[in-house]
Amino acid sequence: MKSLKLLLTILFTGTLLSSCTTVYEESFYDTVNYNQQASLNEIVSQYDLWYIDYNSTVGNGDIPYVSKAFTLSFINGILYANNNIVDIGRTGDGFGLDVGTYNVFNGILETNHDLDGVNDFEVTVISNNEIRLYNYRQDVSYLLVGYQINQFDYDRLFYENIEYFLQEYIGWEKITTTGGVPNTFDAENYLAFTPENITTFYSSQDALNTPIDAINWDYVGGYEVFDVSGFDDLKILTLNYDGGDIEEFELSVINDGRIALYNVNSETTYEFLGRGFVQYLKGAKTKTSAKESVRNNNRKRTKVERNTKIRRNLK
């Protein structure tokens, strides 16, 4: 930005020395503004998708619609966002949802989100496919990495953000139990994951087929998701109950609405089905229904540092 201002100053000085007419000076300003606007438009629209590298966020401020999104797209004045992990790559043909509009004025990227309203950003080019958006009112900047849609790895994004996938259903209902020795977790029929505080989970022993609104969440605790060395599509899920009990599972995703949990102590495999999909629309969420004590009203992405665990042999 500073180098651009310096270049404009040099060009403007040269123009003043070579011409004394007011008409030429006004024409020059119009040309500079047009070229500057066209250049920034080309920068933000040169890639189909901009992945938000949230771990590279700088500053304590927050632009809600950015911190909720996994990708942003700037296409012909329309702002698109992928806010959900479920169905990512399919929603909006991969671009996500139409969440607002954008424009460029005097070298500033202006966005108008349907719910969050107007936010302006200075855009700095970091590399061929990286830009940084800086909002001076919130004093926060976001690193965006550009991809063409036919080169974007949606599966990798899915597994790198698996904890958000768990949060996109009001609850998970146990549908099958296979093998293993009897253990206390056999009685747990429902799980719910929420971004309260850092990572909080709830569990319930209510009977199967209980309406999701009527579930009594018996237990609460914290949960962690770990990577497994050498396996991109397998995770370790640890449930740390407030009473001190710890349950550890190998977590695998069967599809966008079903997961398998392998209890490494009892050697039991449980399958859970997602109940009550929570779609994050236009900076807010709409849901089938839920007890507000179980869900967080304003989900945002958080900086997550995962440890790596060695994979245990599946039985």
pLDDT in tens, 253-278: 999 999 999 998 999 999 999 999 98
pLDDT tens digit sequence for 12-24: 444 444 443 333 2
Q: What was the pLDDT predicted at 198?
A: 63
Q: Are residues 184 and 302 in the same domain?
A: yes
Domain presence at residue 56: yes
Of the pLDDT bands very low, low, confident and very high (cuts 50, 70, 90), residue 279 is: confident
Average pLDDT over residues 232-239: 92
Q: What was the pLDDT predicted at 100?
A: 95
Q: What is the mean pLDDT of the chain?
A: 81
Residue-range definition of the domain harbouring residue 73:
45-152
Whether residue 160 is predicted with pLDDT greater than 50 in this model: the reply is: yes
Domain presence at residue 36: no
Domain presence at residue 2: no
Give me the CATH number covering residue 250.
Answer: 2.40.128
pLDDT tens digit sequence for 93-127: 999 999 999 999 888 999 999 989 999 999 999 99
Whether residue 282 is predicted with pLDDT greater than 80 in this model: the reply is: no
Q: Are residues 166 and 302 in the same domain?
A: yes
Q: What was the pLDDT predicted at 196?
A: 67
Domain presence at residue 204: yes
Q: What was the pLDDT predicted at 108?
A: 95
Of 152, 177, 208, which residue is a domain's last?
Answer: 152
Q: Are residues 169 and 123 in the same domain?
A: no
Domain presence at residue 288: yes
How many other CB atoms are there within 10 angstroms of residue 128's CB atom? Answer: 8
Q: Are residues 65 and 201 in the same domain?
A: no
Domain presence at residue 254: yes
Distance CA 159, CA 243 (A): 30
Q: Looking at the 3D structure of the chain, how many domains does it have?
A: 2
Average pLDDT over residues 266-295: 67
Whether residue 138 is predicted with pLDDT greater than 90 in this model: the reply is: yes
Of 152, 173, 191, which residue is a domain's last?
Answer: 152
Distance CA 80, CA 91 (A): 11
Of the pLDDT bands very low, low, confident and very high (cuts 50, 70, 90), residue 229 is: confident
Of the pLDDT bands very low, low, confident and very high (cuts 50, 70, 90), residue 249 is: very high
Q: Are residues 178 and 60 in the same domain?
A: no
Q: Are residues 221 and 295 in the same domain?
A: yes
Report the predicted TM-score, pTM, of the whole model to 2 decimal places.
0.75
With a pLDDT cut of 70, the percent of the chain lying above it is 76
Distance CA 85, CA 143 (A): 20
